[in-house]
């Protein structure tokens, strides 16, 4: 079968190389972007008189028919035409004859693939952002329902201070808010249209790049043709942003895995989002969370692939760059899949509030509050800290909690203790009194939820406009 470049060659390509070189099996997903780019390019060639107006029209019609046939499942791509760009060009020429051969005037596959990838990544970033916003909405809803659900907060995985489930979940909402802003930032920075860069040194035809830019909805033009064809920074940024997002999902997954163990039993997963064991009849496993934790490594892999693939490349295009696709596509697919399953899984979690509260009541989570009580009575914090330390020590020996000590016990160690110590040690008080901006007091967490909900609303609006 004759290649597009047959003129220069005396021999047919080796079959193994043919397959090795071919990217159609994965870049076929760029068909829509490729056709959109070609339509814009053909319209521009016609408008500039580089090809005849009727030729441009014929090309555009041919491309539209190919698009609808691809979507109707009527087209089978061939590895003999290497990639999506040449497959479509070949199809066009088969269908409309010699006019089809004029489409590639003033263009190279190098700026063509650069354009296709940008169009595709832009579309996918928007979809991922909407999924994150949905997840944030689910976090806000669960938080509103659990403003007063007291649970232990940890440091070093040791019970530390009381907090609420709402406060805990809003920590994750804040991480996701940063993920949205990172992706939005990536989207803004990558909004440059590369077509017109040609193979590397642009073209001698009197093309109108700005006309193409406008048709394809980019904000700006790439400003240097060498950079235009060889820039994949946005792919690195995307993989990096997605890695951070996955790291967040993975941390929450890890918490959920712990919380639904018998050791914690803070939550129960819905049956529809857990799995059983083939041998142990009692088991109910958090496979979804474990898979998300596992797939995080896979997305980090894409980032590493991109960074190592690019680090030694001289300007401009090198075939190494074809490797960007599987890495970027896999990162995108994985993230979307994870979010799609995480949202309903999280929304259907039921909380074992009694267990959370019991866990918060043990482990001296109110010890800081006990020391703060003395400090508020005028004692320096370091002295108060020491006194409460020895009280805790006594309690451990006699298997008691601070609040189960008698007033005499308290006063034996410090005269500053009065009957109001019991109120200060109450878990509800401990949470209610932490009303500093950022703290777990229900009113304060309500404010945090309002901030996130306002963010979601403004993001949804700006996406609807775009």
Q: Applying CB under 6 A, which residues contact ligand ARG?
A: 23, 27, 83, 109-110, 113, 317, 319, 321-322
- The smaller minimum CB distance to ligand ARG, of residues 229 and 269, is found at 229
Calpha distance 96→426 (Å, rounded):
81
CB of 27 to ligand ARG, least distance (A): 6
Q: How far is the CB of 239 from ligand ARG (least distance, A)?
A: 17
Cβ proximity to ligand ARG, 73 vs 312, nearer residue: 312
- Compute the least distance from the CB of residue 323 to ligand ARG, in Å: 8
Instruction: Measure the CA–CA gap between 403 and 410, rounded to whole angstroms.
Output: 10
The distance of closest approach from Cβ of residue 266 to ligand ARG in the complex, given in angstroms and rounded to an integer, is 48
| φ and ψ of 270, to 5 deg | -65, 145
| Structural contact between residues 121 and 59, judged by C-beta atoms closer than 8 angstroms | no
- The span from the first CA to the last CA of the chain, in angstroms, equals 45
Catalytic residue among 156, 278, 350, 398: 156
Please state the closest distance from residue 159 (CB atom) to ligand ARG, in A. Answer: 53
Sign of the Cα pseudo-torsion (205, 211, 216, 221, in order): positive
Q: Which uninterrupted H or E stretch holds 67?
A: helix 53-71
Question: Which is the catalytic residue, given 261, 277, 308, 404?
Answer: 277
Q: How far is the CB of 437 from ligand ARG (least distance, A)?
A: 50
Spatial distance between the Cα atoms of 319 and 322, rounded to a whole number of angstroms:
6
Nearer to ligand ARG, 177 or 325 (CB): 325
Q: Are 303 and 330 in contact (CB under 8 A)?
A: no
Residues 258/260/266/270 CA torsion (nearest 10 deg): 140
For ligand ARG, give the closer residue by CB, 188 or 319.
Answer: 319
27: exposed, middle or buried (C-beta count within 10 Å: 0-12, 13-18, 19+)? buried
Of 195, 13, 35, 19, the closest CA to residue 105 belongs to 195
Q: Which is nearer to ligand ARG, 110 or 302 (CB)?
A: 110
Other C-beta atoms within 10 Å of 453: how many?
16
Active site residue 248: no
Helices (H), 217-285: 225-230, 233-259
Annotated catalytic residue 277: yes
Nearer residue to ligand ARG within complex by CB, 239 or 339: 239
**Closer CB to ligand ARG, 110 or 149, in the complex:** 110
Distance in angstroms (rounded) separating the CA atoms of residues 407 and 116: 74
Report the nearest approach of ligand ARG to the CB of residue 24 (Å): 8
C-alpha to C-alpha distance for 15 and 298, rounded to whole angstroms: 31
Which residues does the annotation mark as catalytic?
A: 156, 277
């Amino acid at each position: 079968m004759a290649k597009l470049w047959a003129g220069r060659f005396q021999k047919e390509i080796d079959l193994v190389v043919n397959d090795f070189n071919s990217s159609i099996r994965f870049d076929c997903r760029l068909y829509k972007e490729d056709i959109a780019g070609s339509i814009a390019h053909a319209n521009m060639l016609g408008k500039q008189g580089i090809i005849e107006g009727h030729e441009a029209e014929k090309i555009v019609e041919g491309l539209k028919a190919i698009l609808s046939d691809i979507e109707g499942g009527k087209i089978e791509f061939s590895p003999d035409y290497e990639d999506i760009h040449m497959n479509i060009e070949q199809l066009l020429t088969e269908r409309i004859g010699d006019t089809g051969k004029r489409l590639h005037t003033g263009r190279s596959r190098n700026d063509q693939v650069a354009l296709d990838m940008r169009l595709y990544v832009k579309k996918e970033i928007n979809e991922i952002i909407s999924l994150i916003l949905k997840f944030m909405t689910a976090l806000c809803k669960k938080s509103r329902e659990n403003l007063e659900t007291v649970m232990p907060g940890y440091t070093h995985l040791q019970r530390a201070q009381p907090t609420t489930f709402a406060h805990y979940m809003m920590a994750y909402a804040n991480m996701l808010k940063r993920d949205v802003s990172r992706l939005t930032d990536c989207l803004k920075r990558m909004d440059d249209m590369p077509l017109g860069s040609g193979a590397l040194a642009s073209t001698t035809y009197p093309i109108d790049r700005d006309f193409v830019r406008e048709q394809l909805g980019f904000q700006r033009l790439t400003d240097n043709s060498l950079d235009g064809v060889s820039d994949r920074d946005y792919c690195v940024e995307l993989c990096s942003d997605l890695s951070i997002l996955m790291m967040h999902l993975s941390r929450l997954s890890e918490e959920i895995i712990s919380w639904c163990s018998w050791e914690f039993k803070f939550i129960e997963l819905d049956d529809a989002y857990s799995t059983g064991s083939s041998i142990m009849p009692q088991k109910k496993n958090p496979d979804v969370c474990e898979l998300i934790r596992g797939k995080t490594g896979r997305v980090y892999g894409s980032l590493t692939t991109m960074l190592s693939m690019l680090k030694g490349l001289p300007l401009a295009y090198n075939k190494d760059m074809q490797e960007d696709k599987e890495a970027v596509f896999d990162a995108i697919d994985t993230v979307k899949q994870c979010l799609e399953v995480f949202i309903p899984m999280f929304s259907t979690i039921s909380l074992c509030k009694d267990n959370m509260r019991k866990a918060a009541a043990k482990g001296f989570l109110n010890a800081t509050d006990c020391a703060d009580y003395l400090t508020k009575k005028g004692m320096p914090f370091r002295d108060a800290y020491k006194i409460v330390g020895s009280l805790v020590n006594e309690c451990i020996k006699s298997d008691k909690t601070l609040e189960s000590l008698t007033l005499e016990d308290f006063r034996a160690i410090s005269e500053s203790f009065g009957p109001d110590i019991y109120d200060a040690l109450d878990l509800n008080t401990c949470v209610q009194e932490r009303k500093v901006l950022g703290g777990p007091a229900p009113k304060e967490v309500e404010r945090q939820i309002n901030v996130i909900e306002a963010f979601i609303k403004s993001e949804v609006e700006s996406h609807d406009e775009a």
